[in-house]
């Protein structure tokens, strides 16, 4: 027999023992469920590349919200998909646009629900970029004015949190100033602080109708090869007044979740993005994986890395699994 060694297995001897010493847990309160709302009536259309995720018109959104609330999910992330798009994304800051109407409806029906408004221009512009174009390039500072206007419009509609995802320099400062001057100093900002120019967004672009019509987003979203740059991005957002920090996507960038956790004390959010969801769904549909175990293992991995909150398309399924359904 070998000499003295540690008996780590003592703490894994039974399910009860493992439950007793478990370090991280996924709770339904940690989950944020994304919603895609479109114009029209009687629309509930499944997004082909995202099985189980739908476009809803406002009249059909009601039944979805009833189910979400009944499952105990407390937060939703709102994406509006307008019919009208133009070069400057004017529907993003139109008080009567689809996003603002959806926010008002949800808050009227479910005042306790936390409604987080994605604040970007890509799903509202006819070119699919996250800002206005000047000679084929996104004009950073002109875009900031429109983002601030969109945030104020969303706050007026009742959004509880503004979540800018556009990766313009100075976006948190511009939105904070806009909100404060409009009387919304109490509305927090959840910054997509570390957002990579990732291939994991493919299915989302089908859902949000936001594929760039020219070029790509690499001049404003981060290079996936960079980590130290992410710390600089997050530090800027903290200095500008962010109330939450986010890492997007999650799985391939979990090191950034840990780095932000170690360097900042703000609530930390990770976005379990569309392709991460779709890959699991496709593999599960083919019987190659156990969907529930894969998803729960992924989410607890986010928590272990340091995430407080998880945006995930799996949220409804996870809420049911946590209840033993």
Task: Detail the residues annotated as belonging to a binding site.
Answer: 120, 122, 130, 205, 217, 233, 274, 313
- Cα–Cα distance measured from residue 278 to residue 49, given in angstroms and rounded to the nearest whole number: 7
Options 62, 145, 156, 248, the catalytic residue? 248
Torsions phi, psi for 230 (to 5 deg)? -65, -35
Element (H, E) at 61: helix 58-70
Alpha helices in 85-201 (DSSP H): 98-109, 140-157, 171-181
Options 195, 281, 303, 316, the catalytic residue? 195
- Cα–Cα distance measured from residue 242 to residue 193, given in angstroms and rounded to the nearest whole number: 9
For this structure, is 195 an active site residue?
A: yes
Residue numbering of the annotated binding site for 5-aminolevulinate: 205, 217, 274, 313
Element (H, E) at 78: strand 75-81
Element (H, E) at 163: strand 161-164
Closest among 188, 324, 168, 301 to 236, alpha carbons compared: 168
Torsions phi, psi for 42 (to 5 deg)? 55, 40
For residue 6, what are the contacts with CB-CB under 8 A and spacing of at least 6?
none
- Cα–Cα distance measured from residue 154 to residue 119, given in angstroms and rounded to the nearest whole number: 8
Count of CA atoms in the C-beta half-sphere (13 A) of 301:
15
Residue numbering of the annotated binding site for Zn(2+): 120, 122, 130
- Cα–Cα distance measured from residue 238 to residue 243, given in angstroms and rounded to the nearest whole number: 7
For residue 164, what are the contacts with CB-CB under 8 A and spacing of at least 6?
119, 120, 147, 151, 171, 172, 175, 189, 191, 192
Residue numbering of the annotated binding site for Mg(2+): 233
CA 131 to chain centre: 19
Please list the active-site residues.
195, 248
């Amino acid at each position: 027999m070998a000499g003295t060694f540690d008996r780590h297995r003592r703490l894994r001897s039974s399910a009860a023992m493992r439950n007793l010493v478990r370090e991280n847990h996924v709770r339904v309160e940690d989950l944020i469920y994304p919603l895609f709302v479109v114009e029209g009536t009687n629309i509930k259309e499944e997004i082909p590349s995202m099985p189980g995720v739908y476009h809803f018109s406002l009249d059909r959104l009601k039944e979805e919200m009833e189910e979400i609330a009944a499952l105990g999910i407390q937060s939703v992330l709102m994406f509006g998909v307008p019919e009208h798009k133009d070069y400057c994304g004017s529907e993003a800051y139109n008080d009567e646009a689809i996003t603002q109407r959806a926010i008002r409806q949800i808050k009227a029906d479910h005042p306790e629900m936390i409604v987080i408004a994605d604040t970007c221009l890509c799903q509202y512009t006819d070119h699919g970029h996250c800002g206005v174009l000047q000679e084929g390039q996104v004009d950073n500072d002109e875009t900031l004015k429109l983002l601030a206007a969109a945030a104020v419009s969303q706050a007026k509609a009742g959004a509880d949190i503004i979540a800018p995802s556009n990766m313009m320099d100075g976006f948190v400062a511009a939105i904070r100033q806009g909100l404060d001057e409009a009387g919304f100093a109490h509305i927090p900002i959840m910054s997509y602080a570390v957002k990579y120019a990732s291939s994991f967004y493919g299915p989302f672009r089908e859902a949000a109708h936001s594929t760039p019509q020219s070029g790509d987003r690499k001049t404003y979203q981060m290079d996936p090869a960079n980590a130290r740059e992410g710390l600089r991005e997050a530090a800027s957002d903290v200095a500008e007044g962010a109330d939450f920090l986010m890492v997007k996507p999650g799985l391939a960038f979990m090191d950034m979740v840990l780095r932000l956790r170690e360097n900042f004390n703000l609530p930390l959010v990770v976005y379990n993005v569309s392709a991460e969801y779709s890959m699991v769904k496709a593999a599960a549909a083919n019987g190659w994986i156990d969907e529930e175990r894969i998803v729960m293992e992924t989410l607890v991995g986010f928590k272990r890395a340091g995430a407080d909150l998880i945006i995930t398309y799996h949220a409804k399924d996870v809420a049911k699994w946590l209840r033993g359904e």
